[in-house]
Chain A
Amino acid sequence: MIVEIGHFSLVLALFIAGLQGTLPIIGAHRNNHSLMAVATPAAIIQFILILGSFIALTYAFLVSDFSVINVASNSHTEKPTLYKISGVWGNHEGSMLLWALILAGYGAAIAAFGENLRPTLKVRILGVQALIGTGILAFILLTSNPFLRLTPAPVNGNGLNPLLQDPGLAFHPPLLYLGYVGLSLTFSFAVAALIEGRVDAAWARWVRPWTLAAWGFLTGGIVLGSWWAYYELGWGGWWFWDPVENASFMPWLAATALLHSAIVSEKRDGLKAWTIFLAIMAFGLSLLGTFLVRSGVITSVHAFASDPTRGVFILLLLIVTIGGAFILFAWRGPTLKGAGLFQPVSREGGLVINNFLLTVAAASILLGTLYPLFIDVLKLGKVSVGAPYFESVFVPMMIPMIAIMGLAPLLKWKRGDFKTAIEKLKFAIALSIIGGLFVWILIDRASAFTSLGMTISLWLLTATLTELAGRIKLFRGPLSESINYLFRQPRASWGMTLAHAGLAIAIAGITASSSWKVESIQIMKFGDQVNVAGYNYTLKHVREIQGPNYKALRGTFIVNKGDDINWVLEPEKRFYTDPVMTTTEAAIRPTFLGDLYAVVGDRDEKSGGYITRIYFNPLVPWMWTGAIIMVLGAGISLTDRRHRVGAPSSNKIPAPGIPAE
């Protein structure tokens, strides 16, 4: 019964979305207020209906109602409760329902909190959001209905891929979707503005917090996915340039560019058409990602079971949504003239170059991801594009980008002075060059690439801190005054400082872990010792243990270094029976300088020992920490009240050193 209510509620939601997608837009066009008034309640009702539907499906998973096909094929009575819940979105149908729920959730958020938006803009945003919703809901009901019944109901379910039974992966999709789908809102903002033919500073001010929220979630989602790959796949790698990873990384690059170009639109009334273009692109790339993952046109380790009908439907949705937006863009775009002129050396200049680099980076990743498809369609054979392509294209573009990232915040809007900025940064320049040389000379196995990586990481960190120091007038007055200024910095500025510093720390982690990884693979008998990166690992024993729905071999390593360190690492190799599958659970002990990472493998029959793999992954914790700081920066920036008020507040005394707005 509850399942039927969920199904019915989803059909109703489609109906409401259809109304919300048409009436308010017509109303805004004809200035008919009663038609416009439909938007706000419709958005909230649509969200509640989809929420009801989602809860109904979750209920079916929780009580293991195997008369529902989706539950039968993706759950199992013996699965722990947490994974019964994550099983709701661990499959195609359920994850699309989550997608629709979040889409409607963002619409409802605009309906509830968007009271300071211009009324015509608000209802048009809600209208566009509902049009996307109509497409997605129709897609779910027609091709991917999670509520279909199965008779006779099986006694037990088919389980879930045990690789996915993991806390990291349980929360990776919801976060990622909050990011992906959050970009739908910036898309709706862009399309609504194109319909109105009006992009002004107020529009840019409204769109920024939503972009920031989506960006924060997307960053968190990508990091969580990467962290999962790092400890679950068992060989210490964390990024594979797999099509599915690229599908989440491309919108991230576009959203990062958008975040920055929207600042120029808000503060300098410039780059309007470009900002609109990026807003469409960011969501377009999200939809493209969905298409690639679900249609099976590209092979990937993470791909959902592919189905050509679904592929056709998503492709149509992609073409109608993004094509429609681009037609509007071609029509209205030329009229979006910016007023803000600027010199090449200026803060806008820096933002434009970095926007360009981010966009080219996204485009080259898109090219690499789709290249196998192009070749396939043109009947030139089958190829795969791997990490070497992506690394050799992506990394060189990031080096000038980070150089500018350190410099641009110190330039003034409109016309910056290069000499003054360099003068301020002389300490940062010296420190990063010395740091790079230090790495080059003193550390073994430091290539030119590693030294360069460390140099740009240090550069970004010191330049970001220099900028902060300038803002709080550090060393240019009494320290107490500087501390006072420090606490009065607007939260949005903290956001920038944290995000940039976080990236600097993450770059150090990425560089070190890809250059100085220590790896040792051997057969160990009980009591055997092996020394990896200065740590002494003793294999004490390997025992068989029984988990809730798996059996496992658990190895116990005692790790010693000097007298104070005496740690225990317990990696597992798990054997699931339903379905039959083996997974590795690496044991990881983070330290300041890197992760100790141990994996236990099969028993070697000849010697009676076990195959063990032990890694030292330098500075990997820095990578995660840096990423968390970036997300934190987004979060803090979002709490800035300037993001929530419609017009610049006049009663607030700006902190000194903030460029005039």
Chain B
Amino acid sequence: MNSRWPYYTPLIILGILAFYFAAGLGQNPAKVKSVLINKKVPEFLLPPIEGSLKGFSNSDLKNQVVLVNIFGSWCVSCRIEHPFLMQLKEKKSIPIYGIDWREPDSTAGPKWLEKFGNPYTLIGDDPNSLGAIAFGVTGAPETFIVDKNGIIRFKHLGPITKDNWDETFKPILEDLRKK
């Protein structure tokens, strides 16, 4: 091998990778651009969970800015998120609508809420993922911001924490409430 160029290859590859890393730093993989962003919430109608009378449908989402939160009693991250949702409820920050996703049986969700508290205005039972599919959910917990006109404005993957609430949610909500 008399040519010098093979000795430059590692440097060139490193350069290309460095470009991607630098570009990647500016983005957050948890902040997913959903195809549904800036579109109207698709139609769905979910039955109530056991022990409650009213379910949850897309017609409930109008005239106010709300959160739609996907959760399940089987989901560990949801339990981590849960105390923060309870705080939001106590502070009356924003109405939260819940989609109780893929429970192993009909009592699991209500039991869980009884034990840890219920932060939700309305809850739809979603054993067959109808609501989850409507929102294009990839996992739990997942949270959507829906504006006064029933349009999805933001999607968040993973638990809401105080940090990402202050950094991400608050500015978006303030912006939407002004409109």
A binds B: yes
Are A377 and B111 in contact, with the CB atoms below 8 A?
A: no
CB <8 Å contact, B7 and A329: yes
Stretch at the interface among B19-27, B39-47, B59-67, B94-102: B19-27
Q: How far is the CA of A250 from the CA of B26 in the complex (A)?
A: 25
**Number of contacting residues on A, CB 8 A?**
39
Determine the chain B residues whose CB is within 8 A of the CB of A295 once the complex forms: 21, 25
Q: Select B8's contact among A318, A330, A604, beta carbons within 8 Å.
A: A330
List of B residues within 8 angstroms of A280 by Cβ = 10
- Cβ proximity bits A343-383 to B, threshold 8 Å, 1 near / 0 not: 00000000000000000000000000010111011000010
A615 contacts the other chain (Cβ, under 8 Å)?
Answer: no
- Select from chain B the residue with minimum beta-carbon distance to A605: B107
Which residue of A is nearest B1, CB measured?
Answer: A334
Q: Which of A13-21, A319-327, A587-595 contacts B (4 or more CB under 8 A)?
A: A319-327
Other-chain residue from B10, B22, B27 in contact with A326 (beta carbon distance below 8 A): B10
Q: Which stretch in A255-263, A482-490, A575-583, A626-634 binds the other chain? A: A575-583
The answer to whether A579 touches B7 (Cβ under 8 A) is: no
Residues of B contacting A370 with CB < 8 Å?
A: 17, 20
The residue in chain B whose Cβ has the minimal distance to the Cβ of A306 is B28
Nearest A residue (CB) for B33: A382
Q: Tell me the complex Cα distance, A297–B20, Å.
A: 10
Indicate if B174 sits at the interface (CB-CB under 8 A): no
Are A297 and B111 in contact (CB-based, < 8 A)? Answer: no
Say how far B141's CB is from chain A's closest CB, in angstroms. Answer: 14
Q: A315-B25, A582-B79, A605-B111 are in contact. Are A374 and B7 (CB under 8 A)?
A: no
A298 to B25, CA, bound (A): 9
Bound-complex Cα distance A606 to B18 (A): 56
The DSSP consensus for interface residues of chain B is: helix
B83 engages A580 (CB within 8 Å): yes
In the complex the two chains form, is B11's CB within 8 Å of A323's CB?
yes
Q: How far is the CA of A280 from the CA of B7 in the complex (A)?
A: 13
Neighbouring A residues of B53 by C-beta, 8 Å: none
Q: Check A315 against B21 for contact (C-beta < 8 Å).
A: yes
Complex formed: what's the CA distance from A297 to B17 in Å?
Answer: 13
CA distance A281 to B24 in the complex (A): 22
**A156 CB → nearest B CB, Å:** 16
- Confirm or deny: A73 has a beta carbon within 8 angstroms of a beta carbon on chain B: no
Is the CB of B133 closer than 8 A to any CB of chain A? no
List which B145-172 residues lie within 8 A (CB) of chain A. none
11 more A-B residue pairs beyond the given contacts A323-B14, A382-B29, with a C-beta to C-beta distance below 8 A:
A315-B18, A315-B22, A329-B10, A330-B8, A334-B4, A370-B20, A373-B21, A377-B20, A580-B82, A582-B79, A604-B105
12 A-B pairs (CB sep. < 8 Å): A296-B29, A298-B29, A299-B29, A315-B21, A327-B11, A330-B8, A376-B29, A382-B32, A579-B80, A580-B82, A581-B76, A604-B105
Which B residues have a C-beta under 8 Å from some C-beta of A? 4, 7-8, 10-11, 14-15, 17-18, 20-30, 32-33, 76, 79-80, 82-83, 105, 107, 111
